[in-house]
Structure 1
Amino acid sequence: MPSIWQRHPRYVVFVALVLFSTFYLLNPYQSTIPLDSYAAYIRDNDLPAKILRAEQVYTKVIDNRKQLIRKFGPTPHDVLMFPPDKDPWPAYTVWSFFPPSFHCPHEMERIGALGDGGKWTCGMSRLEHKPDCIIYTFGMNYETSFEAEMLERTRHCQVWGYDYRSNSFGSHIKSNYRAHFLPYGLANFDAHEASNKDKLYTLKTLLELNKHDHIDVLKIDIEGWEFEVLKQILEPYIASGEPLPFGQLLVEIHTWEKKFEDFLPWWEMLEAAGLRPFMTEVNLVYQNYNRGKDTDLAEYSFINIKGNNIFISDPPASSTEPNVI
């Protein structure tokens, strides 16, 4: 009896085509994008590629900053923080030189209260189920809507709050075993003996006391002390080449009495440590009560692109946490 292949040759051809197409499509070495298509040149679908692309964009911004300094300087010594409104009229402020042009590779959102208190963040969803999530926050002065929302939205985050002007978190946080408050101040030196009225600690000392080796989010609002404090924190890591022990920095910058020639190297120090600004918000609430004066205060949010923190590196696939859909 003739086989089915002899009786239906067209069927044989059809089966062969199906098998060939299947092997072709399932071949892991076969690109599904034609090489002559512009899509073949797009390589920023994964997290490391997105970080690299954002860094390329930010490098261009640094070059543009140098050009702007030459235009209005021509040296940093000649650049004014907030030029007077008179001829020749320079259309800039200090904030024009430092745009938040690094692209956040995740969702970007404002956590906490609208107006004063809330902070712009990048990828907070990556902390929702992180088992060793740590948040440090300094200078809250009872405005703790950011801290309260982070506690509410995460399963494991431990929030460590410090403020020597307060004796507790604000009313946003009731009783929560993951919230830890201490009436300490963040400084660039340690001064917490019995004779010290205000107990001041360096970040390094607090990490040692708490037995922490990383911080996912570091939030700082210490009324101008951020310049000395961040210098003390960052310089050892820049010298050693080691990555900073935190993934994001949310800081309010107070430029009171600052000169551009001093502010510029401080900012470049942040960049050398791996910090990249992805969002800023000039403090218009402060400006509303200080009309006619300089716009001295601005909130900046930075992501740390060095190391393997949760915002630039995916966690191991063998996580013990259940899958969440």
Structure 2
Amino acid sequence: MKQAHLLLVGLAVLVFFGAAYIYGLDKQTLSPVEIFWMQKDKQNALPKAEESRDYMIPSDVELKNMSNTQWKQIYWKYINRLQTLCKDVVRVGKLKDGEKEICADERYRPRAPCIIYSFGINNDFSFDHEAVKMFGCDVFCFDPSMKMESKRISDHVWFYNWGLSGENTVDKQGWKMKTLRTIRNDLGHSNKTIDILKMDIETFEWNSMLQMIPAGDLDDVRQFAVEAHFMHGNIPGNSQLSALRQLYDRGFRIFMRDRNLYFGIEGSMTTLNEISLINVLYS
């Protein structure tokens, strides 16, 4: 009996120190920033399924009377609640920058012939070429900041030196800016489904969304992947939240959100986040 007791004690000690050793190794492989956000993820875990109803953004009137701090709290709470389930999430593009999370579930997976709009290239076509390999789509890429003339890049990839905006104009940098509707008209896509719209345009996303959503220009877009810079740019936080609420009203549901751990960190939140949505009203 005494030997059995000693054996049990020995096993318990072994398990304890083994776990501590493994945990220590894990800690050593993580950066301080990653450890911090792992702890935050545990603290901000979603509630139980029966309690995780969609969190709704307040009305424009209510938002207008709130402070910057309140806007940030609403934004953080909203984007951290996944609103629909995608069972097959695939990452398209290279890691750390330029990649987007796409839903490859049967209902939403792009299939040739399909169309992808990719706004914001910065001389990196990794997302675009990988999207062709994965889905066989035609990919139309846009970036006015690149010193490149509009041209065909490959069999399925085209580049245009246009920028996306809430109006058709030439800005002070000489960039040709167009609305989504104008671009679709120019490319002959007015009556065609856009399977994926990827947007990485450095704060110009809010100006563009506030024009295109009420105009109905996203109604036949099946997936929307956007790098969102909250409380940055010339659009105030309440209007940015209004854009997110309008997306919801048009059928777009968040299925994935990635934070940028190296930029836009403010206290316990990140203001720069990758948000991926699917349009549940368009099949």
Tell me the TM-score normalised to structure 2 length: 0.68
Residue by residue over 1:95-133, the C-alpha shift from the partner in whole angstroms, topping out at 9 and shown as x without a partner, is 223324123344112111111111111117778882321
Shift of 1:78: 4.2
The 3-state SS of whatever aligns with 1:252 is strand
Alignment match, 2:69: 80
Residue in structure 1 matched with residue 95 of structure 2 by the alignment: 114
Q: Which has the higher contact order (CA 8 A, sep 6+)?
A: 2
Q: What is residue 223 of structure 1 aligned with on the other side?
A: 202
Q: Secondary structure at the match of 1:205?
A: helix
1:297 aligns with 2:278: no
Shift of 1:263: 3.3
Structure 1 equivalent of residue 9 of structure 2 = none
Partner of 2:166: 188
- Structure 1 residues 206 and 262, CA gap change in structure 2 (3 angstroms): closer
What is the root-mean-square deviation of aligned Cα atoms in Å?
A: 3.7
1:161 is aligned with what amino acid? C
CA shift at 1:185, angstroms? 0.5
User: Would you identify which runs of 4 or more consecutive aligned residues in structure 1 move more than 4 Å?
Assistant: 56-59, 73-76, 124-129, 257-260, 290-294
Gaps of 5+ in 2: 1-48
Which runs of no fewer than 5 residues in structure 1 stay unpaired?
1-55, 67-72, 84-91, 309-325
User: In the alignment, which residue of structure 2 is the partner of 1:131?
Assistant: 112
**Structure with greater strand share of residues:** 2
Distance 1:164 1:76, change over 3 A: same
Retained in 2: the 8 A contact 1:140–1:163? yes
One-letter amino acid of the counterpart of residue 117, structure 2:
Y
Residue type matched to 1:197 in 2? G
Structure 1 residues 305 and 74, CA gap change in structure 2 (3 angstroms): closer
Contact 1:276/1:302 (<8 A) preserved:
yes
The answer to whether the 8 Å contact 1:128/1:153 transfers is no
User: In the alignment, what sits opposite 2:174?
Assistant: 197
CA contact (8 A) 2:118 2:198 kept: yes
Task: Name 2:130's counterpart in structure 1.
Answer: 149
* 8 Å Cα contact 2:54-2:81 kept in structure 1: no
AA at the equivalent of 1:136: Y
| Residue pair 2:144, 2:161 contacting (<8 A) in 1 also | yes
Identity fraction in percent: 26
Tell me the secondary structure at the aligned position of residue 61 of structure 1.
Answer: coil
Give the letter aligned to residue 235 of structure 1.
P
Shift in Å at residue 254 of structure 1? 0.9
- Residue in 1 aligned with 2:281? 306
Residue 153 of structure 1 deviates from its aligned partner by 2.1
Amino acid at match of 1:281: D
AA in 2 matched with 1:80: T
- Change beyond 3 A, Cα 1:266–1:153: closer
Aligned residues: 226
Distance 1:57 1:229 in 2: 36
Q: 1:211 aligns with which of 166, 177, 188?
A: 188
Whole-Å separation in 1 of the counterparts to 2:81 and 2:124: 25
Greater shift in the superposed pair: 134-143 or 106-115? 106-115
Aligned residue in 2 for 1:274: 251
Q: TM-score, normalised by structure 1?
A: 0.59
Alignment partner, residue 214 of structure 2: 235
Q: Is the 8 A contact 2:165 2:179 kept in 1?
A: yes
Greater Cα radius of gyration, structure 1 or 2: 1
